[in-house]
Chain A
Amino acid sequence: MAQFICRDVSLGYDGKVIAEHISFEINSGDYLCIVGENGSGKSTLVRAMLKLHEPMSGEITTGDGVLPTDIGYLPQQTEVQRDFPASVREIVLSGFTGHLGAKPFYSREQKVAAMRAMERLGIDSLARHCYRELSGGQQQRVLLARALCATKKILLLDEPAAGLDPKVTGEMYSLIENLNREDGITIIMVSHDIAAAIRYATHILHIGHKRNFFGTKEEYIKSEDGRAFISLSGEDVIRT
């Protein structure tokens, strides 16, 4: 049974449609890349999957025992956070807030698990550092560790490599790949980096102006949409 099912979903703001007829299914262990041009509605779709945004029509359902608290999220970065006084440990631990319920404080197990998540992403030595003083790549790892605390099942990552240099981007992608391969975590990643999408994903969802594409990576490469989009950003594909 699928973890996420999207049926003919239309998205928009204030009655204006941005993307429509989006349908796809994700099963446990899949690696889905959502691609499309800037402003095509990728972030909006992610927010809709998190119930932060109401679709205009269609439905998004979860299955396979997935609860709202089983989803880890890495939002597209906002500026406000950059000068925030918070240690890495505080931020990673906050990944567990959804599991707190009525309890006011984090349990010992949660603190240990937060430490594990930091070790997993190679930032355990930064635990006491201030988030705002880290490099862009380190900051993204912190947010990924936080998302990892929230879930062991599904990670929704919105442009996790935006603004990172190529080397750090590669490191970020291989961390995510490991989480998918070794830990069996389902990955749903927004990216306009088509090369990375083709390299790592098992499935591709392309949100376009005229129509959408959903299928396996192999199908996408052969498809008309895929060929057009890949040749548009051909340089990137060769570079990576």
Chain B
Amino acid sequence: MSEVFEKLALYFEYPFVRNALIVGVLISLCSSLLGVTLVLKRFSFIGDGLSHVAFGALAIATVLNVSNDMIVIMPVTILCAILLLKSSSNAKIKGDAALAMLSVGALAVGYLLLNVFSTSLNISGDICTTLFGSTSILTLSRSDVWISIVMSAAVIIIFLLFYNKIFAVTFDETFAAAVGIRAGAYNMLIAIVTAVIIVLAMNLVGSLLISALVIFPSLSAMRVYKSFRAVVICSAVLSVLCSAIGIIISILASTPVGSTIVIADIVTFGIFSAVGALTGRRRGA
């Protein structure tokens, strides 16, 4: 056991490991805070589609050889989030079909662009990395770290400031609108913040696994807790713990970071489902 700790202590000497932990914890905190709302509003599919869009945007940024790819990815993803929200509230175009088109299209275009224009010798390796985020969290640049910290702080502050209104809009949009809350504006806010989180999370788990980060902690928390606040707090704690544990295990066992985190989330979900089934007397009765 002491060997493991020595090994960990050694790793923590490296700034890239500390950076990975800081950024990982912040991103998982943000994604779980908003995850509760997304799951409850049945918006989680938007997160999934946006992650594919972010991949496409990354491909474009790579081809254009932009120095910091966030400059391209962030606005493109936010724009798509806004478009998706508009189309899903417009009954004439089926929201989920539009979303499927956009997300599959983005994947295909992204892959094609990378294949045709990439100068790298190991294209499949690179693409695998962006899709599953195998090492990118360990190779963050100083500016990546700062962007992540600032954006995460912004997301957390927005969430806290608008917590009560987000609850009202999530629980009952019609009532909220009736008492004068601009529900449309809050949906927009939620969509934009989701886009920001997805772009940030792409570094941590890769674009294919982001949904797991958004969905699992809140679903786990909802198995056991029954008030909105308890669910939000519990999913934040779970998400942070799973990401920290996942990052540490992946360093010790040289497993891919993203998948390890997601597997930690899945295990937690199993545990919480069992606990919920044992303690939930009246549920499902």
Residues of A near any B CB (own CB < 8 A) = 50, 52, 68-69, 71-73, 75, 78, 80-81, 84-87, 90-91, 93-95, 97-98, 100, 104-106, 128-130, 132-133, 146, 150, 156
Contacts and interface: CB of A to CB of B under 8 A. Distances in A.
A97 B229 contact: no
24 contacts: A68-B179, A68-B180, A71-B178, A72-B179, A73-B175, A73-B178, A78-B174, A80-B42, A85-B225, A85-B226, A85-B227, A87-B227, A90-B227, A94-B168, A94-B175, A95-B179, A97-B168, A100-B165, A104-B161, A105-B163, A106-B164, A130-B227, A146-B175, A150-B179
Contact of A90 (B162, B165, B167): B167
B162 A133 contact: no
B180 A90 contact: no
Q: Which of A91, A94, A98 has the most CB of B within 10 A?
A: A94
Contacts of A146: 175
A86 B171 contact: yes
B189 interface: no
Given A68-B180, A97-B176, A104 B162 contact: yes
A129 B174 CA distance: 23
Given A73-B179, A130-B227, A133-B226, A100 B174 contact: no
A123 B161 CA distance: 29
Interface of B: 40, 42, 160-165, 167-168, 171-172, 174-181, 222, 225-231, 282-283
Contacts of B175: 73, 75, 94, 146
A85 B167 CA distance: 11
B75 to A, nearest CB: 28
For the complex of A and B, the 7 pairs showing the least CB-CB separation, nearest first, are: A98-B179, A130-B226, A87-B227, A97-B168, A73-B178, A50-B178, A98-B180
Contact of A87 (B42, B172, B228, B282): B228
Contacts of A132: 226
A133 to B, nearest CB: 5
Contacts of B178: 50, 52, 71, 73, 75, 156
User: Which among A68, A104, A128 has the highest number of chain B CB atoms within 10 Å?
Assistant: A104
A137 to B, nearest CB: 16
A149 to B, nearest CB: 9
A78 B172 CA distance: 9
A63 to B, nearest CB: 18
Contacts of B177: 50, 52
Contacts of A72: 179
Contacts of A85: 40, 222, 225-228, 230-231
